[in-house]
Amino acid sequence: MTEEAQKREIRNRRHFSFRLNVFFFATFFVFSVLIVRLAYLQFVEGDNLKELEYKNGSKTVPVPPIRGNIYDSTGKEIAYSVSTQSLYYTLDMKMKDDEAMALAARLVEVFDRLGDKSAKPLTAQDVYEDMDLKGRVHYAHQPRRIKTGLTKEEIAYFSEHRQEFSGIDIVEESIRQYSEDRIAVQLVGYMKKLSGAKALDKYKEIDKEQTNKALGYINEEEVGFDGLELMYQDELRGSNGIKEYPVNNQGEIIGPMKLTKPVKGENLYLTINRKVQLTTQQAIMDHIKFVYNAKGKQYESAHPTTGYAVAMEVDTGKVISMASMPDYDPSVWQGGISQKDLDAITFFQYNGTIREVQPPYEEYEQRKNHPSSLVYLGSTQKPLSVLIGLNEKLFTTSTTYTDQGYFEFGRKGHEVRIWNASNKANGKITAWEAIAKSSNAFMSAMIGNRLFQYDGDSGLILWDEYLKQFGLGVTTGSGLQGESAGVVDYFKSTKTEGLQSALIRSSWGQQAKYTALQLAQYAATLASHGKRMKPQFVQEIRDVDGNVTVGYQPEMLNSIDIPEEYWKTIEKGMAGVSVQGFDGVPYTFLRKTGTSQQDVGNRRRVENAVFIAYAPADKPKLAVAVVVPDGGYGGWGAAPIARQIFDAYDAEIGLYGTPRPQLYGGVQSASGSIDGEVGDQADVGDDAAANAGQ
């Protein structure tokens, strides 16, 4: 081998040795990195990776919370939740009517054979209507509840024969139960499934914002849709639990379930007193029946079918009773209401003490001839009218006015006369006597017409500002969904009747319609000498362990500073108002009756009974407002109902600080003390006579 060849071989061996060393080094480096990485994954990231592996290989199922209960002020249950098994039907769009009826008949056969014998039996027609094939009540995809409270035998049968009943499923759920006594049902409200409640902005926002479906609302859970059930939805609901199952990549459960228990909702303790509430409800129903059938002259124009009342504590704003009558059985909402039941409660499901509710006549031609729950104040306006007049220096407490039975206004040849009730001339009267005698002439001349003398429409604007400070023309601050601020006509009337007429008619309560809750707040503001309190329905909220999480705090919305002398003037007038049904009461009280008039449909004119009062007179504790549309004179059609409310409050809570049940051997019917009596009708706002004088 030549020397050159030997050198070449040596170089090749060196190159090979170098490459081999590089290869071994690279291999060592790679394995070293892998070993370090594996060690890191095992010892540093091991727990996190195991959790991630478990999470990715798990199935979560939300467990809906048990809703909190609602109690009255004494701790009696009004609304509560129980666990039950229910049968649901999911709509098959291809199913024909005769097939649906056949399925309904087969279901009823099982219900009759295996169901609870003490429960109300269902007919095939009932089940067919609940299936809601036309989608009148439910969305197409929304399961319809057919029956709740399944027995063990029914559950076993349907589970075994599931294939024989198309679209049928058994669901465990929490059912909302309500007191059989029907305690303030429209105030308490009702519930709907979330899937059917998204018409409300609250649930639209919830649906839009929630990202974790397992922790958020479940589409088929029931949520508050009206009243306190809606207003306190967040507190009552609680929060979901979670069932978490480990699964393999085929979705099969491969280990034990991990349960995070749901948190029960909080409990509401209301300001509503059960016994006072039941007395209020019964007094309204008894009295409207009495008035409707009464033969006396004072009842000739009365045709009541509904009544509304609110009792509110003066200093605290606590609402002790709130009744919108007639009412209904709220259990019809359980799991979705049938069209039949919905039709039956159409005129009773909404709270007529806070919003406009139409009279309960199915035919429109009948309905238009009767007033709704919103009525004019009538003469209950007059204490505030006099207060405004005094505070604006339109007259003094000693100013006299010669009441000749009417007040006349308008240009020559087109005069309009505003008459007192029965055209009664009261002679010389002062401000307090104008309230006691319910003088339309005084209100028109001394208040309405004098405000008209203000520049432009400043008198009407001033009038409106005063009324709002007493809660008239604004919402009460209750927080209830759908509350009305009332219907104010006096601004609109300036365009049709003129400013002068609008102010004059406003002065005796014929230019604005308000709710019973607004009237109660107005009466309480009179009683407290100008402090308008927020109506409160919940005195405390407690968690599942009974701990108070939210306590009651009174809240004053506004106050008005008026000299004490003026308050005493209107109180003297209110003390002199004639009223029926209060003979022999063991407490003092101040009051004002009202008979508001309005034109409706073909009947032209109806009279609505309105009444406000507070007691005791020297240290007011409770204010009450009663409205009976189409109830005739306020002193006859509404005042006796208020008597029963005051009596019940005094017996249960105490107008003088302690309950006095010994004074009341039993609450007499609202009509019992006035049958055959004849009383003053001075509260009638005789707009008819005014029109006749044009």
Tell me whether residue 49 is in a domain: no
Contact 592, 432 (CB under 8 A): no
Residue 608: which pLDDT band, with cuts at 50, 70 and 90?
very high
pLDDT at 356: 97
Which of 476, 579, 478, 465 has its CA nearest to residue 522? 476
Q: Judge if 159 and 79 occupy the same domain.
A: yes
- Kindly tell me if the per-residue pLDDT of 559 is higher than 60: yes
- Kindly tell me if the per-residue pLDDT of 682 is higher than 60: no
Q: How many whole angstroms separate alpha carbon 92 and alpha carbon 96?
A: 9
- Kindly tell me if the per-residue pLDDT of 672 is higher than 50: no
| The token pair that represents 341 in the structure block | 């039941």
Write the CA distances from 561 to 472, 535, 618, 682, integer angstroms: 17, 21, 19, 30
Tell me whether residue 55 is in a domain: no
Q: How many whole angstroms separate alpha carbon 296 and alpha carbon 617?
A: 31
Range(s) of the domain holding residue 15: 3-44
Tell me whether residue 54 is in a domain: no
Interstrand relation of 77-89 and 168-178 (parallel, antiparallel or unpaired)? antiparallel
Indicate the SS3 state at residue 197: coil
Q: Judge if 483 and 610 occupy the same domain.
A: yes
482-533 pLDDT, tens per residue?
Answer: 999 999 999 999 999 999 999 999 999 999 999 999 999 999 999 999 999 9
Q: Judge if 232 and 323 occupy the same domain.
A: no
Tell me whether residue 265 is in a domain: yes
Q: Judge if 462 and 441 occupy the same domain.
A: yes
315-368 pLDDT, tens per residue?
Answer: 999 999 999 999 999 989 876 788 889 999 999 999 999 999 999 998 998 899
Tell me whether residue 402 is in a domain: yes
pLDDT at 689: 39
Query: Which CATH number covers residue 592?
Result: 3.40.710.10
Q: How many whole angstroms separate alpha carbon 305 and alpha carbon 317?
A: 29
489-518 per-residue burial string, b: 16 or more CB within 10 A, e: under 16: bbeebbeebebbbbbbbbbbbbbbbbbbbb
Q: Judge if 346 and 262 occupy the same domain.
A: no
pLDDT at 260: 85
Q: Give the residue with greater pLDDT, 118 vs 453.
A: 453
Q: Give the residue with greater pLDDT, 169 vs 475.
A: 475
Q: Is residue 479 exposed (0-12), middle (13-18) or buried (19+ Cβ within 10 Å)? A: middle
Contact 58, 245 (CB under 8 A): yes
pLDDT average, residue stretch 576-580: 94
Tell me whether residue 97 is in a domain: yes
- Which of 236, 270, 304 is the endpoint of a domain? 270
pTM: 0.82
Q: Give the residue with greater pLDDT, 175 vs 290.
A: 290
pLDDT at 671: 47
DSSP states of 422-465: GG---EEE-HHHHHHTT-HHHIIIIIIHHHHTSSTTHHHHHHHH
Beta strands in 234-325 (DSSP E): 241-246, 258-260, 267-270, 307-313, 319-325
Which of 369, 341, 282 has its CA nearest to residue 645? 282
- Kindly tell me if the per-residue pLDDT of 50 is higher than 60: no
Indicate the SS3 state at residue 643: helix
pLDDT average, residue stretch 387-404: 98
pLDDT at 691: 38
Helix (H) or strand (E) holding 401: strand 401-403
Q: Judge if 528 and 469 occupy the same domain.
A: yes
Q: Which residues contact 36 (CB under 8 A, 6 or more apart)?
A: none
- Which of 237, 270, 303 is the endpoint of a domain? 270
188-237 pLDDT, tens per residue?
Answer: 999 998 888 888 999 988 878 877 766 688 877 889 999 999 999 999 99
Query: Which CATH number covers residue 209?
Result: 3.90.1310.10
Which of 441, 465, 463, 442 has its CA nearest to residue 452? 463
pLDDT at 148: 83
- Which of 235, 270, 305 is the endpoint of a domain? 270
- Kindly tell me if the per-residue pLDDT of 108 is higher than 80: yes
Least-confidence region, from 254-263, 290-299, 548-557, 635-644: 254-263
Tell me whether residue 51 is in a domain: no
Q: Judge if 152 and 173 occupy the same domain.
A: yes
pLDDT at 112: 94
Q: Is residue 364 exposed (0-12), middle (13-18) or buried (19+ Cβ within 10 Å)? A: exposed
pLDDT at 18: 64
- Kindly tell me if the per-residue pLDDT of 59 is higher than 60: yes
256-283 pLDDT, tens per residue?
Answer: 878 888 889 999 999 999 999 999 999 9
Q: Judge if 142 and 117 occupy the same domain.
A: yes
pLDDT at 439: 98
Q: Judge if 297 and 184 occupy the same domain.
A: no
Q: How many structural domains is the chain composed of?
A: 3
Contact 480, 535 (CB under 8 A): no
Average pLDDT, the chain: 88
Q: Which residues contact 691 (CB under 8 A, 6 or more apart)?
A: 416
- From the CB of residue 573, how many other CB atoms can be counted at a distance below 10 Å? 23
Beta strands in 512-598 (DSSP E): 512-514, 531-533, 538-542, 548-551, 556-559, 590-598
| The token pair that represents 554 in the structure block | 């009174």
76-100 pLDDT, tens per residue?
Answer: 999 999 888 889 888 887 888 999 9
pLDDT cut 70: percent of the chain above it: 86
Q: How many whole angstroms separate alpha carbon 500 and alpha carbon 492?
A: 13
pLDDT cut 90: percent of the chain above it: 64
DSSP states of 127-179: HHHHH-TT-SSS-TTSPEEEEES--HHHHHHHHHTGGGSTTEEEEEEEEEEE-
pLDDT at 16: 64
Q: Judge if 542 and 670 occupy the same domain.
A: yes
Three-state helix/strand/coil letters over 77-116: EEEEEEEEEEEEECCCCCCCHHHHHHHHHHHHHHHHHHCC
Indicate the SS3 state at residue 6: helix
Q: What is the DSSP letter of 646?
A: H
Q: Which residues contact 457 (CB under 8 A, 6 or more apart)?
A: 494, 499
Write the CA distances from 227 to 115, 419, 490, integer angstroms: 34, 42, 31
Residue recorded with tokens 């056969």:
109
Q: Judge if 226 and 318 occupy the same domain.
A: no
Residue 142: which pLDDT band, with cuts at 50, 70 and 90?
low
Q: How many whole angstroms separate alpha carbon 61 and alpha carbon 93?
A: 28
pLDDT average, residue stretch 581-592: 96
pLDDT at 73: 98
Q: Is the dihedral of CA 498, 504, 510, 514 positive or negative?
A: positive
280-307 pLDDT, tens per residue?
Answer: 999 999 999 999 998 887 888 789 999 9
Interstrand relation of 70-71 and 267-270 (parallel, antiparallel or unpaired)? parallel
- From the CB of residue 487, how many other CB atoms can be counted at a distance below 10 Å? 17
pLDDT at 686: 40
pLDDT average, residue stretch 421-427: 94
pLDDT at 674: 35
pLDDT at 242: 85
Q: Judge if 409 and 546 occupy the same domain.
A: yes
Tell me whether residue 52 is in a domain: no
Q: How many whole angstroms separate alpha carbon 145 and alpha carbon 49?
A: 44
Indicate the SS3 state at residue 373: coil
- Kindly tell me if the per-residue pLDDT of 690 is higher than 50: no
